[in-house]
Amino acid sequence: MEILKVRPYQLLCLICSFGENGCNGPKDKKLKELLEKIREFSSRPIMLTCNAGDVFSYQDPGIEEDTEEGSEFNRTRDLEILHKLDLMPGAILPARIILFRIFDKILTSSGVCGQCAKAKKGYYEKALRDFIAGSPDWNTGDTGFYKLLKEGKCSVLNERKETDFAEEKKKSIAAMYEAEEISVRPHILLCAVEQYAEGIRPPFTYDNLPEMMQHIIKNPDLKIKLVPDADWMMCAPCPGRDPGLNACIQAKGHGGLTSQLRDLRVLQKLGLKYGQSVKAKDLYKLIFERIKTTNEICTLDGVFPSVWEDKCGTPNAEWTREGKENELYKKGRELLMVDLGIEPEKIINGK
């Protein structure tokens, strides 16, 4: 897969071009090519190269793409951007993650692109206002964020169309009802418990977990196969799924990392492996016996900003530090032991 080598300032110029030219975006040939490649594949890896010298000299791109303000200005601008993004010269990340972080961390070009005439006109800030206008979930990176980036001609990232979700929902639900075993990635079995506690029941728009739960309550001997990644049977209608990669792109583009770690933590707790199939009732009995709280599965207590940030890891980390637990999971666990016919005393006694 081609890795695009991009100067940090070029990404800000790309955003700025929408403020200057509206939905027409960039006029510069280099920026047009960059935008086309990102739109073509929004998870395309980008290497942020910068004339940093010292121990990072191995990735120095030279001054060929410096703008007319001069090498010192360009070098300073690139380093200022990397500093605000908390990334090192030569860092390689999917395009969507870098763009999400820019939108999050660089809210103004002031102090970054000061000598640039276009920066002085506020084009960058205008583009940000246009991009984020009306987004209900800006801080979480959920569907609102994906919507603002994909709708209309001004999109930077090409995501799935709203019209695709209903059809995918219909097809995947039909496949689940016909299947001899249901394919599920491990950690979302815990998510289903929380949804159940919240009273979420079919039909549900963004995944098939409520439908799965009702299905296995009626058919407790139906097998569940533990699979990696954002499997189609459960995640087909999710706006945060990349069908081409079978990947989770929630949490501002990097949901795959956090989701995979949770999956593996669940497998380790259960003593199971990918590819194994277990009767639904037996599997949930094992889950309720060995995973009494989500703290040990979902806590992500790192240094932020980070590609490990997401909306589940932070509260679980706080609950862990405070000696608390996820009350939704606790409630859902109690409800489902009843509805799945799992006797609580056998769970408590480990039988």
pLDDT tens digits, 46-80: 999 999 999 999 999 999 999 999 999 999 999 99
Within 10 angstroms of residue 41's Cβ, the number of other Cβ atoms is: 18
> Which tens digits make up the pLDDT trace of 183-204?
999 999 999 999 999 999 999 9
User: Is residue 265 helix, strand or coil?
Assistant: helix
Per-residue pLDDT, 207: 93
End-to-end CA distance of the chain: 50
Which residues, in sequence order, are CB contacts of 45 under 8 Å at separation 6+?
1, 3, 4, 92, 93, 94, 95
Distance CA 248, CA 259 (A): 8
Query: Which tokens in the block code for residue 86?
Result: 């908390």
Tell me the torsion sign for CA atoms 79, 82, 88, 92: negative
Percentage of the chain surpassing pLDDT 90?
A: 61
Of 97-111, 137-151, 179-193, give the range with the top mean pLDDT: 179-193
Which has the higher per-residue pLDDT, 219 or 347?
219
pLDDT of 111: 87
What's the pLDDT at 147? 45
What's the mean pLDDT when you consider all of the chain? 88
Q: Which helix (H) or strand (E) holds 76?
A: helix 71-85
Distance, C-alpha 128 to centroid of its chain: 20
Give the tokens for residue 25: 């975006």
Task: For residues 209-236, give the mean pLDDT.
Answer: 96
Q: What is the pLDDT of residues 272-294, one digit of tens each?
A: 999 999 999 999 999 999 999 99
Better-scored residue on pLDDT, 111 or 272 = 272
Quick one: tokens of 72?
Answer: 């010192």
Question: 259 with 267: CB under 8 angstroms?
Answer: no
Q: Report pTM.
A: 0.86
Helix axes 188-198, 280-290, angle to 10 degrees: 90
The pLDDT-based confidence of 163 (bands split at 50, 70, 90) is: confident
How far apart CA 323 and CA 311 sit, in angstroms, is 19
Strand partners, 4: 46
Query: In which element (H, E) is residue 85 found?
Result: helix 71-85
If you count them, how many residues does the chain have? Answer: 351
Measured CA to CA in angstroms, residue 186 lies from 48, 68, 299, 329 at distances of 34, 53, 16, 15
Q: Phi, psi (5° rounding) for residue 184?
A: -145, 135
pLDDT category, 116, cuts 50, 70, 90? confident
Query: For 291-312, how does the pLDDT look when each residue is reduced to its tens digit (9 = 90+)?
Result: 999 999 999 876 666 778 777 8
Measured distance CA(334)–CA(227) in Å, rounded: 26
Contact status, residue 125 vs residue 12, Cβ threshold 8 Å: no
